[in-house]
Amino acid sequence: MSLKITPQIVLSLSLVGVGMAGVGAVAFADGWDPNSKASNVGSIANTRHNLTLQYNKDAGGAGIVMDFARNDYGEVCVYCHTPHGANKQINAPLWNRTINNVSNYTVYDTPTTIGLEGRLGVPGPNSLTCLSCHDGTIAIDSVLNMPGSGGYGNTEVGTSNLAFLDQWPDNGRPGTSGNHFTLGPELGNGDIGSACALCHSAPNSVIPDFRLFMLGTDLRNDHVIGITFPTTFGPGIDYNEPEISVPGKWAFFDSNGSGFAEKYEVRLYDSGSGPAVECASCHDPHGIPSNGAGTEFIPSFLRISNSTPNDNGIGGPSGLCLTCHAK
């Protein structure tokens, strides 16, 4: 999707109050940018996945600055979910976003000595939902059903229907026309000038850096997704066996022995070819408390921390990795 840069961008940068050059670099910390204004505590409303950015707008900050780049629907959940008129092309809970076809992605296709032969596949529904923002081709406000009455009609699957998005009736919340930005292309590729990455991809002391979250459509340099998990385990097998498997639904590592898939437990989704690794296997977009209720969410929306154990003793150094991999 091609979006032109307008003079509004100049205004937004002046509101931020910093230039893009001559500013100290920002270091990533466990996949999290320290300049995030989100508290990452309590609920998704306090995370970056709250695309209304209320936590900053009330202070006159980036929420207002970003109004030129996306419709502000004034609701947290609507950017992904809707109670009516959900996307019928994907098996995802009340999904409200447009998605790309799996053929849009370049996936890992090189079997190696770790036994991937015959198990490589394409992203399933529990990855396509995440990629509908993070592949950098679909506008972050590209929904099928807008809040309020009469806001339904974007039935296109794929890149956003800009004419529909331009019809946002405002309802007291800012909208934009022709500037429905994507998150950003994979770093170093694509048109960074027509995406959030225009500002969120340079070392900066004020603006959060989103580079780590710009996956692009070439997924070969990311953890493989859509790969069927092994079904045999034991000596010489480099994978751990999930404690519970429900054919046609999922398998999961029942770390606390409850018999239920807790939010902080890794799960494998079965879309018809057996349990497979997907984006949501390791990430929960709503956030997982790092050490019990009221604590900061594990960075990068991970289900299990790779550094510090949670209050159930789950996690620790490479804790997420070692859930699946027997090393």
pTM score, two decimals?
A: 0.86
For 233-279, how does the pLDDT look when each residue is reduced to its tens digit (9 = 90+)? 888 888 999 999 999 999 999 999 999 999 999 999 998 889 999 99
The arithmetic mean of pLDDT across residues 289-300, rounded, is 91
Q: How many Å apart are CA 21 and CA 290, to the nearest integer? A: 35
Q: How many Å apart are CA 150 and CA 75, to the nearest integer? A: 17
Two structure tokens written together for 73: 């629907």
Are the C-beta atoms of 238 and 325 separated by less than 8 Å? yes
The arithmetic mean of pLDDT across residues 169-186, rounded, is 85
Domain range summary for the chain, segments of one domain joined by +: 6-17+32-221, 229-327
Q: How many Å apart are CA 327 and CA 321, to the nearest integer? A: 9
Residue 113: what are its φ and ψ, rounded to 5°? -70, -5
What pLDDT score does 310 carry? 84
Q: How confident is the model at residue 58 (pLDDT cuts 50, 70, 90)?
A: low
What pLDDT score does 238 carry? 87
Residue 145 identity (one-letter amino acid): N
- Looking at every residue in the chain, the average pLDDT score rounds to 82
What pLDDT score does 20 carry? 30
